[in-house]
Structure 1
Amino acid sequence: MYRKRETERDRLRERIVELLRAYSVEAQHVGHAFAARHGLHPTDLQALIAVMHAEGAGDPLTPGRLGEALGLSSGATTAAIDRLERAGHLRRTRESADRRVIHLRYGEPGKALALEFFGPLGARTDRVMAQFSDADLGTVERFLSGMYDSIAAHHQAVRDRPAG
């Protein structure tokens, strides 16, 4: 049963949750628009994002780790990698002493397409952030980090729990 929010804090918390939900939905719409414009399956877009984040963190994904991150079988992971590689969005590299280990890297043509599409969003984001002090941004960062940790832990719990 829905309970009425009584205090200003309750109303603020409710509004923040609603804004997070709306932001998440809008971000998905933007991602789907990019995928549709470039003939990508939604899973391909998720794979690209995972590869980009891992590479940015200095820990490039292997195909196995990508499949694990996306919850895909090895066959489905290979099919997604093959599609993305053919389209120039990512490339396979052998960087370790063990030449059997393949790392996935964001492809230069894919980077160019992403920059063209998402560059204006980056500029809009920069304009919004410029309105806040470093201290404000630090508070937002701590808040969003906590919210991310919360949803990631919930995702892990529901993914690991058998259905039914």
Structure 2
Amino acid sequence: MGTDGYGSGTGVWGRRPGGRQAVVAEIIRRLRSYTVDAGQVGHAFAAAHSLHTTDLQALIVVMDAEQAGTPITSGELGAQLNLTSSSVTALVDRLERGGHLRRDRDASDRRKVRLRYAAAGAALAREFFAPLGRRTDVVMAEFSDAELDTIRRFLAAMQASTRAHRDEVRAAAHDRPG
């Protein structure tokens, strides 16, 4: 692991790096800052609609799965959010009552129930996040298709790296006695 605690060796906690190290350090700093800012926007949405932080995380997971064409089950949602079965049931019940989610039987296996974003919940999210979407579109327009592809590959690799670390941390916590 590097001197900044993130494996880059950039030394952002003490010395001032130069060249590539400076760029890497700035990218890491901006990713952290973006995460905090995006989290605050998410918290504002959650507060405006009387949602818990976990509710918002669940909605994002459900939305992403649905957009990828692979709607998620309650069990899969629980695994992604590291929640117990009873916690997921309470979460999904709460989101369904609030009009944010709906449960649909899987067309190929009627025993499975898939979670989908409900129309009312999607409308609330669209209304709240539309201004951010417009700002995002403006930023994206500043980059060429090739640059966007590089950014996409970078973010996908960062996400995979972070998820791998998350899974290792979860496993270590699970293996600890007591």
2:55 — aligned with what? 44
Q: Which stretches of structure 1, 4 residues or longer, exceed 4 Å deviation after superposition?
A: none
2:123 — aligned with what? 112
1:33 — aligned with what? 44
Instruction: Note the alpha carbon deviations across 1:108-154, whole angstroms, 9 max, x for none.
Output: 00000000001111110010111111121122112112211111111
Residue 23 of structure 1: CA displacement? 0.1
Instruction: Note the alpha carbon deviations across 1:94-115, whole angstroms, 9 max, x for none.
Output: 1234322111110000000000
Q: 1:66 aligns with which of 74, 77, 81?
A: 77
Give the CA RMSD over aligned residues: 1.4
2:102 — aligned with what? 91
- Supply the AA of the counterpart residue of 1:25: V
Percent identity at matched positions?
A: 54
Q: Distance in 2 between matches of 1:9 and 1:3?
A: 17
**Structure 1 residues 97 and 143: alpha-carbon distance in aligned structure 2, compared to 1, 3 A threshold:** closer
Task: Count residues in correspondence.
Answer: 164
- Supply the AA of the counterpart residue of 2:62: V
Q: Distance in 1 between matches of 2:73 and 2:155?
A: 28
Q: Report the 3-state secondary structure (helix = DSSP H, G, I; strand = E; otherwise coil) of the residue aligned with 1:158.
A: helix
Unaligned segments of structure 2, at least 5 residues: 4-12
Q: Distance in 2 between matches of 1:138 and 1:145?
A: 10
Q: Report the 3-state secondary structure (helix = DSSP H, G, I; strand = E; otherwise coil) of the residue aligned with 1:21.
A: helix
TM-score (norm 2): 0.87
Instruction: Note the alpha carbon deviations across 1:36-88, whole angstroms, 9 max, x for none.
Output: 00000111111111110111111111111111111111111000001100010
**Structure 1 residues 44 and 6: alpha-carbon distance in aligned structure 2, compared to 1, 3 A threshold:** closer
Q: Distance in 2 between matches of 1:83 and 1:15?
A: 40
Residues 142-161 of structure 1 mapped to structure 2, 5 A cutoff: 142-161=153-172
Residue 3 of structure 1: CA displacement? 4.2
- Supply the AA of the counterpart residue of 2:27: I
Q: 2:31 aligns with which of 10, 20, 25?
A: 20
Higher RCO, 1 or 2 (CA under 8 Å, sep at least 6)? Answer: 1
Instruction: Note the alpha carbon deviations across 1:4-35, whole angstroms, 9 max, x for none.
Output: 13322111111110000000010110011000
TM-score (norm 1): 0.94
